[in-house]
Amino acid sequence: MLLAEVVRTSEAVASTRSRTAKIDALAALLGRLAPEEIEPAVAFLTGRPRQGRIGVGWATLRSIEPPPADAASIEVVELDAALTALQVPTGTGSQTLRLDRLGALLARATEVEADFIRRLLLGELRQGALEGVMVDAVARASGVPAAAVRRAVMLAGDLPPVAAVALVEGAAGLSAIGLEVLRPVLPMLASSAEDVASALGGLGLCSVEWKLDGARVQAHRRGDQVRLFTRNLNDVTARLPGVVAAIAALPVERVILDGEVLGVGAEGPEAFQDTMSSFSRRSGLPGPAALGVWFFDCLHLDGDDLVDRPLLARSAALERSGAPRVPSLVTDDVAAATAFQDEALAAGHEGVMVKSASSTYEAGRRGASWRKVKPVHTLDLVVLGAEWGSGRRRGWLSNLHLGARDPATGSFLMVGKTFKGLTDALLEWQTAELLARASARHDHVVEVDPPLVVEIALDGVQASTRYPGGVALRFARVRRYRSDKDPADADSIDAVRALLPGAGRDGQVRRRSG
């Protein structure tokens, strides 16, 4: 199959908000693929090539702009092979070789194919073909129940090969995919709740757990072998020897655990970015500000697969494993759960997770049986500029550059970006307003003066050298524009910095029995 057919399907998916229409378009394409084309095509359409990050950035792509080809000629398997060829070894001549290979690839691409390839390499192929939509499309094209495809993806940890099995071997092939120790499992995700009371509502008895602001880690052990995987299923075993040693010391033979790695020092838990940077420079559990690990789930223990068992049974297995546990409380009482959340916040953590005691482990889905509750902050910031969107946001100014007021100078300091929370109507209005205020244009960025005031919801801030204000917003999203406020009324950089994790709190993660 020609890549052009995949690109046309990508454009069709990006142009509609209808989930049904997306599934129909994807399923129609999947049904026409040859067996060897399924894995790369599914990877392309979900925006994640099988080769992972290849290391080609904007600067490299901008240096290679051959004239577009007149006719489509690149096949799906050829693009897959070309991306593999771009993963050349480092060393003398490697960059030249990569540029030559990338130039040869783009020289064969039509204009729309080249745009698709560039966005694929940059990780910016936002086309609405998220994994959940693709799972349903695979189910439609193969005639296999979506639940069977979803379960196989959970256990295999990777959608493209599961899609190939479903489309070639059907339900019988999927049923042979089981849980394997040392092979990562897609993590179960949580939906959000406004407060503890609404989180508990309808769930009955729950496990309420401290929500640590760490790095998700899945630990596997089989005999003397230990493997550690991130939320995205990247292998980080070599980067966490202290955690490996802790897992190797457990009184078990085979186990799969789900938890968090977190930097904890004398003054409490570290900020998230400090924990992440610790992956490359720390190695142990003991000592001040060292990386610790705490677990909240057990998916397998000594030959017993537990993903289909209720949470309380998995929690009992976690206790038997001897692994350090995230503090938890089993209750259905709102007052008790709220008090427990207050303890977590006082200890310097994000909030709590509220999980149905009867819930099974449903990987890769934001189900209603797991709910996260954490305080949401809002700030009134100014829009300093915006970037032109891609995919279905092409033609609209989308990614906002956000600034806070500097009382000392009267100017504004950039503190982050966001394209979250924008409806189509707001995008259209925003584009017209920002273009009317445009003061400069640089490549794909439009600068704005005077700025607009926008209310931003965020989970917090972190120290950052990327922005002039020395801080960066975390999980920022647009709530509304504040036409009632002038830029002089926007929040100051001091107000933003006040949301940095505080010092002097007793933030040690400790065991607690519920």
Q: How far apart are the first and last CA of the chain?
A: 57
Question: What dihedral angle (degrees, nearest 10) is formed by the CA atoms of 377, 380, 384, 386?
Answer: 60
Using DSSP, state whether 423 is helix, strand or coil.
coil
Q: Give the whole-angstrom CA distance, residue 59 versus residue 240.
A: 33
DSSP string, 26-90: HHHHHTT--HHHHHHHHHHHTT--TT------HHHHHT--PPPPSS---BHHHHHHHHHHT-PPS
Q: Do the beta carbons of residue 338 and residue 329 sit within 8 Å?
A: no
* Cα–Cα distance, 266 to 171 (Å, whole number): 53
Task: Using alpha carbons, select from 338, 416, 336 the residue that is nearest to residue 377.
Answer: 416
Beta pairing, strands 328-331 & 412-418? unpaired
**Within 13 Å of residue 456, how many CA atoms lie on the same side as its CB?**
32
- From CA 276, how far away is CA 448, in angstroms rounded? 34
Q: Residue 76 in contact with residue 4, Cβ under 8 Å? A: no
> Of 22, 211, 355, 374, which one is the catalytic site residue?
211
Q: Which two tokens stand for residue 137?
A: 């499309």
Closest among 252, 219, 257, 261 to 320, alpha carbons compared:
252
Query: Is 417 in the active site?
Result: no
Structure tokens at 317: 């297995």
CA angle 363, 222, 355 (to 5 degrees): 30
The CA distance from 279 to 390, in Å, is: 33
Instruction: Kindly report whether the peptide bond that precedes residue 450 is cis, defined as omega within 30 degrees of 0.
Output: yes
User: Amino acid identity, residue 457?
Assistant: A
Q: How many angstroms separate the CA atoms of 495 and 507, rounded?
A: 23
The answer to whether the beta carbons of residues 164 and 38 sit under 8 Å apart is yes
Residue 181 and residue 299: Cα distance in Å, rounded? 10
Helix (H, G, I), strand (E, B) or coil at 194: coil
Please list the active-site residues.
211
